[in-house]
Amino acid sequence: MTESAYNPDTASVEVDVVIIGGGPAGLSAALNLARARASVIVVDAGRPRNAATLRSHGFLTRDGVSPLELRKLARAELAAYPAVRVLDRTLATAVLPTDSEIGMRFIVALQGRSAGLPPAVAARSVLVATGIRETLPAIPSLRAYYGMTMFSCAACDAFELQDRPLALIGDTLDLADRARLIARWTDRLTVFTNGSDVIDTIEEAELAASGIAVERRPIDDLEGERGTVSAVRLTDGTRIGIEGGFVRPHWDPALDFLAPIDVDRDEDGHLVVDGSGRTTHAGIYAAGDAAAPGPQQLIVAAGQGARAAAVLVQDLIGVRTAH
Ligand SMILES: Cc1cc2nc3c(=O)[nH]c(=O)nc-3n(C[C@H](O)[C@H](O)[C@H](O)COP(=O)(O)OP(=O)(O)OC[C@H]3O[C@@H](n4cnc5c(N)ncnc54)[C@H](O)[C@@H]3O)c2cc1C
């Protein structure tokens, strides 16, 4: 493995792996790559998807930890490995292929304000761990409740809301299925299609048979205070009392920086990977929410990062399977 080295000719730093994204997927990959004696640069814009929430659930040994604390713990562990350098508040703006087939195969262009930030980093391999961007339903005060009493991930947050009157708000075709899932935690669920017709009459009858109400009228806003939602207010003035709920955002992996690379994406834009995190472009790997099949959880992202790291090291050496 190469030492991290500054190359005055190209004014760039050379490393084995550039990891784009410093969430659980990227940091877990960095830890495992460092332990395999790879030189690593983690580039992180510092805008994690779960920043809205105060507590993260379901991460073994860290159930209920704040997202910030989880990142701090991970960063403290990485600090023990000099082969890893983290570039904070830095954006990877482009990944460009080079002519080299086995050496530095990629140049990663950077943008940020940190003193001494190189304009670019050259890498043998790149791991994309940039998560996803989410667009919430257009309800004026939704952000005030999101991460407090309104969430998007049932596995992450439904346990804390169980047995309460809940809302599910969305306009995606999987809304009825998500309703059936959330009904596992409450028998007082109302699905708000917010004026869209994503639930047909057959599905509505099936949901009704399971005790799930469907409300088709458009939403004016949510009501409540200090992050605690108390009602959904419809445009005709009707108020439907709730004590929490879920929304179905639109998810978009923001991967414009990969435009110069020919790599397969699925219909939702996620990077297509094999079971080990290899994308369809040699030398480019993906882990966490940016990789198909889509949004998951912190511990899953961390696991995918570790798995991609192991395979990446094998690929750098030229060994196919040496688990
Ligand atoms: C409100 C909410 C609550 C949640 N609660 C839970 C929970 O309780 N339990 C749970 O397991 N999961 C929870 N999740 C899901 C969890 O946050 C994600 O599954 C997890 O963060 C995915 O990790 P990741 O490393 O793939 O991406 P992220 O954690 O999103 O990290 C990606 C990082 O990449 C950076 N980045 C993006 N683009 C670039 C670029 N071009 N250059 C440099 N850096 C870039 C971002 O700024 C970010 O820091 C929650 C999500 C939300 C929205």
- The SS3 of residue 105 is coil
Beta bridge partners of 251: 134
The residue among 47, 74, 61, 49 whose CA lies nearest residue 289 is 49
Confidence of residue 139 (pLDDT cuts 50, 70, 90): very high
User: Is the pLDDT reported for residue 5 higher than 70?
Assistant: no
Lowest mean pLDDT among 95-99, 158-162, 283-287: 95-99
Average pLDDT over residues 24-47: 97
pLDDT in tens, 271-312: 999 999 999 999 999 999 999 888 899 999 999 999 999 999
For residue 322, what pLDDT is reported? 54
Query: Going by DSSP bridges, is the β-strand pair 189-192/213-215 parallel, antiparallel, or unpaired?
Result: parallel
Pocket residue to mutate for ligand 1, from 133, 289, 307, most atoms within 8 A of Cβ: 289
Q: Which atom of ligand 1 is nearest to the CA of 291?
A: 26
User: Is the pLDDT reported for residue 250 higher than 50?
Assistant: yes
Q: Contact at 8 Å (CB) between 46 and 153? A: no
Pocket residue to mutate for ligand 1, from 20, 56, 150, most atoms within 8 A of Cβ: 56
- Using only C-alpha atoms, the chain has a radius of gyration, in whole angstroms, of 22
**319 or 76, which is more confident?**
76
DSSP 115: T
Q: Take atom 38 of ligand 1 and give the residue whose Cα is closest.
A: 130
Q: What share of the chain is helix, strand, coil (3-state, %, to 5)?
A: 25, 30, 45
Residue 14 in contact with ligand 1 by CB distance below 6 A: no
**C-alpha span between 153 and 135 (Å, rounded):** 14
How many Å lie between the centroid of ligand 1 and the Cα of residue 1? 29
How many Å lie between the centroid of ligand 1 and the Cα of residue 23? 6
pLDDT in tens, 171-211: 999 999 999 999 999 999 999 999 999 999 999 999 999 99
How many Å lie between the centroid of ligand 1 and the Cα of residue 9? 36
